[in-house]
Amino acid sequence: MISIKFLVKHSYLMRISKHPILSFERGKKVTFTFNGKKIDAYENETVASALIAAGINVLSRSIKYNRPRGFFCGIGKCSSCLMTVDGVPNIKTCVTPVKNGMVVESQDGKGSLPENTELESRKETLHADVAVVGAGPAGLSAAITASKYNADVLLIDENPVAGGQLIKQTHKFFGSKEHKAGVRGIEIAKLLLNEIEKSNVNLLLNAGVIGYYKENCHMLTVVQDRKIIKVYPKKIIIATGASENMLAFPGNDLPGVVGAGGVQTLMNVYGVRPGSNVLMVGAGNVGLIVSYQLMQAGINVKMVVEAMPKIGGYIVHAAKLRRLGVPILTSHTVKNAYGNGRVEGARIVKLENWKEVEGSEFDVPVDLICLAVGLTPTCEILFQAGCETKYIPELGGWVAWHDRNLETSIQGIYVAGDCSGIEEASTAMMEGRIAGMDAAEKLGFRIDEKEKKDAFENLNTLRSGPFGEKPRTGKEKIWGIK
Amino acid sequence: MTYEETGIITLKDIQAPSKERFEKGPVAVIECPQSIPCNPCADACKFGAITMNDINALPKIDFEKCTGCGACISKCPGLAVFVVDMTYSENEALIKLPYEFALPKIGDTVKALDRKGEMKGDAKVVRVIKEKDKTGVVSIAVKKNLAMEVRNIRC
């Protein structure tokens, strides 16, 4: 198998050209500078994806010890790709589209604003019946549903494209017809975005919600480009998803240790190879699915290691990988990562009763260590708003308390999808619908009671099997608290 | 070791057709041993051969009703359905399998892989269908004794 150095040297190879499922429609060629060096890129891709494609793997440095930081989440959730762009520091380059002539610089520490700032700042005010934060499966479904019942909806997302994680899910979804089973996630995203287009939903992209304020009513502050928008919604639905968990091991901050979702973003959205030989850590559904997708993109997965004694994801996903010759080692984990400036390999160790087995260590030379070790709900706005929070391990940690209609302890603020508890896209869509319907109903719009009843039944069905036990238990814990 | 530890499904984990049924012609083999919320295979079968009590139940296949048409192969999101035809020729069996990589051409000789990805010899590509949803269904001819072992190809 070819090395990452070879790929970088022949930079066109960093771009995926043939793919069995996807076709990459790259925009016009553009160039920008990174620390004074010219970088070729395509319109419609992000600064970070263009830099990775150009073989640049140090995107920032840690503030205290100046350690190199590489690409990690790819969706604006971690802070490893912050740079100064056109003079403005702390720009999340993974969600910032490239523009011709852009000046990108790596920044020292926290960065500083230019002294003679001519940065324009504009202010705007928007009103809405319902503001939905996050345009993933939950947020899109919430917006479509609330809008269908005549609410005036504003949908806000900090990414350059809507669809959340659906836009990188090339696999077919499980479930039944009602949950679009057998349809690939990317196609479900298209269906939902099509509905948004036909609706009256006002979609704000590249727009980050930076705060919640309570005046006489709810107020969200949104930053879009260089503009501050004050949003006054009557109801708020937070559907901000989740962020990927880190795993503690020496070398876990080397560039080349990447979140599984980050890898998906690079290879399935932007068609950029994140590496050439991969170690996948975690055999839950995310680890198994992303490993298979890496193989489809022509990237070699050397093995999957899983600390648990059993594979956590669906066996059918594991079987697909095994048939390709990818080993899955249960009761094994990463002892450390090694490499000079970027990942060159990982040392694996066997576990017995969660203790390392002495002498069982072995090295795997890889240039990418992909972490698929769980997700944590993204709840910052909810915490800042003062929603009552609960620690529910089955839901992924701290979440905002919510009732069956997804309303939190603050009247008029709802949650839906992964930020209300880690599950998957089918349940996120159902939760979005319920929250959208309840918000519309409480605003005085007449809703179809049958649709709400069906959505509840659908959710129960999806959570009824052995794989639904964890979220079911978590949700029951939350509902049991008053 | 169980499939939960290895990721490898074995014949004892699945519902396999009898020798007599194999002698009658093509038949579907569903390699889905876990209760997961999923039922497109049952929806795909026009003959009512695949049934499920509820969405989390295991697919149950009535081999007498199954015609081996293969409509379920590309519909399974887990790529877990195969069709085996032991009557293909005197020495060879035909396996129809779902395939989501660069597709081979009819007449190609490819490597036949088992459930561990280990090479079991050569296979001849007899038919290639690319479904609208981009899942390929590849029919390969292999030695009869490999019909219940080979589950993948390498082109």
Q: pLDDT digit string (tens) for A182-216?
A: 999 999 999 999 999 999 999 999 999 999 999 78
CB A401 within 8 A of CB A389: yes
Name the residue facing B4 among A175, A182, A311 (closest C-beta). Answer: A311
Say yes or no: A171 contacts chain B, CB-CB below 8 A: yes
Name the residue facing A296 among B101, B117, B151 (closest C-beta). Answer: B101
CA dihedral B35, B39, B41, B47 (to 10 degrees): 110
Q: Where in chain A is the domain with CATH 3.10.20.440?
A: 25-114
Name the residue facing A461 among B55, B102, B114 (closest C-beta). Answer: B55
Which CATH class for the A259-375 domain? alpha beta
pLDDT, tens only, A8-59: 777 778 999 999 999 998 999 999 999 999 999 999 999 999 999 999 999 9
Q: Which residues of A touch B32 (CB under 8 A)?
A: 316
Say yes or no: B146 contacts chain A, CB-CB below 8 A: no
Q: Which residues of A touch B134 (CB under 8 A)?
A: 20-21, 184
Residue A307 burial (CB count, 10 A): 18
Q: Which residues of B touch A323 (CB under 8 A)?
A: 113-117, 151-152
All structural domains of chain B with their residue ranges: 3-10+24-30+69-154
For residue A1, pLDDT beyond 80: no
For residue A7, pLDDT beyond 80: no
Dihedral angle sign, alpha carbons of residues A23, A274, A270, A320: positive
Give the tokens for residue A82. 């912050």
Nearest CA in chain B to A174: B38
Q: Going by C-beta distance under 8 Å and a sequence separation of 6 or more, which residues neighbour residue A395?
A: A377, A420, A421, A422, A471, A474, A475, A478
Question: Tell me, what's the pLDDT at A216?
Answer: 86
pLDDT, tens only, A359-418: 999 999 999 999 999 999 999 999 999 999 999 999 999 999 999 999 999 999 999 999
- Inspect the interface and report whether the beta carbons of B54 and A322 lie closer than 8 Å: no
For residue A252, pLDDT beyond 90: yes
Residue that is written with structure tokens 């790709």 in the block? A81
Name the residue facing A319 among B31, B36, B100 (closest C-beta). Answer: B31
**Would you tell me which CATH number, out of the four given (3.30.930.10, 3.30.540.10, 3.40.50.2300, 3.50.50.60), belongs to the domain A122-243+376-480?**
3.50.50.60
Q: Going by C-beta distance under 8 Å and a sequence separation of 6 or more, which residues neighbour residue A324?
A: A292, A295, B113, B117, B152
CB B74 within 8 A of CB B132: no
Name the residue facing B8 among A18, A177, A322 (closest C-beta). Answer: A322
Q: Where in chain A is the domain with CATH 3.50.50.60?
A: 122-243+376-480, 259-375
pLDDT, tens only, A298-335: 999 999 999 999 999 999 999 999 999 999 999 999 99
Give the tokens for residue B99. 């395939």
Mean of all residue pLDDT scores within chain B:
96
Nearest CA in chain A to B75: A182
**A vs B: CB pairs below 8 A:** 134
ipTM confidence score: 0.97
CATH architecture of the domain covering A25-114: Roll (3.10)
Q: CA-to-CA distance for A391 and A400, rounded, in angstroms?
A: 9
CB A256 within 8 A of CB A343: yes
Q: CA-to-CA distance for B71 and B74, rounded, in angstroms?
A: 7
Closest chain B C-alpha to A210 CA, distance in angstroms: 37
Question: Tell me, what's the pLDDT at A143?
Answer: 98
pTM of the model: 0.96
